[in-house]
A and B are shown apart, each in its own frame.
Chain A
Amino acid sequence: MDKKQYTNFGIWGIFILLMGFVVPVFFPAYRVILVTEAIIFSLFAISYNLLLGYAGLLSFGHAMFFGTGAYVTAIALGHIEGLPILGAVFIAILATTATGFIIGSLLLRHKGSYFALLTLAFNALFYVIATKWHSITGGDDGLSVTRPDLSLGFTTLNMSDITTFYYFTLIIVGLAILFCWYFTKTAMGRTVLLIRENEERMKFLGYNTNISRLYLFTFTGALAGFAGSFYALFFQFTSITAISIDMGTAALLMAFIGGTGTFIGPILGAFVYIFLQDFLSDFTDRWPLIMGLIFILMVLYIPGGLSGLFLSIKERLSGRRAATGQTETEGQNR
């Protein structure tokens, strides 16, 4: 990691953040709502990609953490009088961290196809619990959530206002995304990447690869819970959709469409997914079919996703290999 990459990323980060801040100025409320949703799903997709792109673990059950985060937020706000909004998010993160640790220590006994299969089965278990435990989760009816106002000491922000909630999401979720990016540059983040590349060698060098993987799994679980918590606050409602396998599939589609080889890919994928869904559902009820076809075509022809595609176009145009993300993209195409 050299200085130039930090500067590069910093410029991009500031640029994207500035764009984020002016969204409510230039766009109608309807678009602002969509962007809020896309930001929340960006975090979900990034947490998913830390598993798939960085650790090479294919999970079909990431919704169990997303859904747990959403349910814990709804339940905490419903049962604890006067709980501040960030308090609810914090409780959700604590709960999903614990869940991630327990589930991870069971699931990570297997790798590859077995791991993928087990995540699906465990997600089904979570789904059954959410459906059947009617007194707590509301079963098929779901739970409604009231966003508490955010008290800053000198002033109180009205969270039922769309624009205020948008800025709140942009800042808090944006910080979480920045933290994820920082994580990929830490020794721990690098370790995970290297385990994917050559586990035997990492073991030989004295790393406990199982513990590293468990830490990563727990971390991504907590992040998905974070996103799920904001999902509940955003829709002011939590239903079994949040914990269904389809929700995990959505994260997979976002990460893959955006590109699993780069950090920014899942964000791109989340925005494309949310806006494409909004656009297509105006014309046809069959948009999941179209998404599925896009996905299959990308698996067959563009395994690097959109960001991988951009990178290779950039390389071709400049006639040299781009320094950033090169190793990561190539790792994916093995």
Chain B
Amino acid sequence: MSDIPVFFLHGLAYAGLLFLVSSGLTLVFGMMNVLNFAHAAFYMLGAYFSYTVLRITGNFWLSIIICPILLFLIGALVERFLLRRVHAFGHLHELLLTFGLAYIITESVKWIWGNYPLAVSIGGFLSGQVDLFGLTYPIYRLFILLCAVIVGLIMCFVIYKTKVGVIVRAAVNDSEMVNALGINVSSVFMNVFAAGAALSGFAGVIAGPLLTTYPNMANEILIDAFVVIVVGGFGSLGGALLASLIIGELQSFGVLLIPKLSMALIYMLMAAVLVIKPSGLFGEE
């Protein structure tokens, strides 16, 4: 069975993508206590921006740099001018706002780029194949995996080892106290939200060439990312990593072994986790 390693690698690549999206979601949720329904819409915007940048310049590396920056700006604007306004009304309104935003972004994308799939092709060595222990494998999927690992490491470093990370973690615990100590908490929150949007946009850019770019891609990854967060435990980065791996592999081998049920498998896993350990694998009650 030479299929098994191939599907295992496919699963890993999807897990990497899932981790990039869900880690941003967990990050924002853990720190600001806002479940951002527009998170996957940022991912989709990343993919579509990248499509346009590629059409104009033809340079994939350029779009990897430009698109996350654009998403960072959009995220900052959303936090500053929309989310902050409704913060006083409570969680319900924050959820409704991000949900409405996701709705508008999806409809705008359908309007601007059309309601059909777009193929994104990248030239250069990334689109080639590589020999890996006797099997031929597309370089691009390995590239996604590499990106996920690098970004994950950077994120852990920033959050747990730098001063910025300390401030952010402290602001979550007691934002009033941090504010009193002379740190601008509002600005920290804005940057955290924008960073989450940029991360999601980055995932979108590298997902574009692998999966097709189409208006429903946001909803699909959003639900998968939610399942990751439920299974891994809310607000836990380690949980998000483990759950991404499990769900990526489950998706991949599900298609191989039981194609009809493959999509339902991850929901069954989620239901099982909810029954056995409602707080998720790494969650704290």
Chain A positions near chain B (C-beta within 8 angstroms) = 56, 58, 60, 106, 109-110, 112-114, 116-118, 120-122, 124-125, 128-129, 132, 245, 249, 252, 256, 286, 288-289, 292-293, 295-296, 299-300, 303, 333-334
- In the complex, besides A109-B278, A132-B260, 7 extra interface pairs with C-beta distance below 8 angstroms are A121-B223, A125-B271, A132-B263, A256-B96, A293-B104, A299-B96, A300-B82
Q: How far is the CB of B236 from chain A (nearest CB, A)?
A: 13
Which residue of the partner chain A has the closest CB to B89? A303
Binds A, one of B3-11, B160-168, B202-210, B227-235: B227-235
Ranked 9 nearest A-B pairs via Cβ = A125-B267, A113-B35, A289-B107, A292-B104, A292-B103, A296-B100, A109-B278, A124-B223, A128-B263
A299: chain B residues at CB < 8 Å are 86, 93, 96-97, 100
Chain B, residue nearest A133 (CB): B260
Q: Hey, which chain B residues are within 8 Å of A132, CB to CB? A: 260-261, 263-264
In the complex, the chain B residue whose C-beta lies closest to that of A297 is: B100
A300 touching B107 by the CB < 8 A rule? Answer: no
Q: Are B275 and A106 in contact (CB under 8 A)?
A: yes
B55 contacts A by Cβ under 8 Å: no
A286 closest partner in B (C-beta): B111
A56, A117, A300, most chain B CB atoms within 10 A: A117
| Contact among B34, B96, B219 for A58, CB-based, below 8 A | B96
Closest to A249 in B: B103
Answer whether A117 and B229 are a contact pair too, CB < 8 Å, given A289-B104, A334-B89: yes
Q: A120-B223, A124-B223 are in contact. Are A113 and B267 (CB under 8 A)?
A: no
Docked-complex contact A118 and B89, CB < 8 angstroms: no
Contact flags B256-285 to A (C-beta < 8 A → 1, else 0) = 000011011001001100110010000000
What's the tally of chain B residues with a CB closer than 8 Å to chain A?
A: 41
Contact of B267 among A128, A252, A286, A289 (CB under 8 A): A128
Cβ distance B94 to chain A, nearest Cβ, rounded Å: 9
Chain B facing A: main interface SS: helix
Closest to A103 in B: B271
Decide if A116 touches B89 in the complex (CB within 8 Å). no
CB-CB contacts below 8 Å: B93-115 with A: 93, 95-97, 99-101, 103-104, 107-108, 111
- B100 adjacent to A120 (CB under 8 Å): no
Show the binding face of B for A, using Cβ within 8 Å.
29, 33-35, 82, 85-86, 89-93, 95-97, 99-101, 103-104, 107-108, 111, 219, 222-223, 226-227, 229-230, 234, 260-261, 263-264, 267, 270-271, 274-275, 278
Measured CB to CB, the nearest residue on chain B to A256 is B96
How many angstroms from the CA of A124 to the CA of B223 in the assembled complex?
A: 7
Contact partners of B226 in chain A: CB under 8 A? 117-118, 120-121
Min CB distance, B181 to chain A, in Å?
28
What are the residues of chain A within 8 A of B85 when measuring CB–CB? 300
A120 to B260, CA, bound (A): 21
A188 to B99, CA, bound (A): 31
Contact A117 B35 (CB under 8 A): yes
In the assembled complex, which residues on chain B have CB atoms less than 8 Å from the CB atom of A286? 107, 111
Taken together as a complex, chains A and B put the C-alpha atoms of A60 and B92 apart, in Å, by 12
Which residues from B are CB-within-8-Å of A300? 82, 85-86, 97
Task: Determine the distance from Cα of A250 to Cα of B123 in the docked complex, in whole angstroms.
Answer: 42
On whether the beta carbons of A121 and B230 are closer than 8 Å, the reply is yes
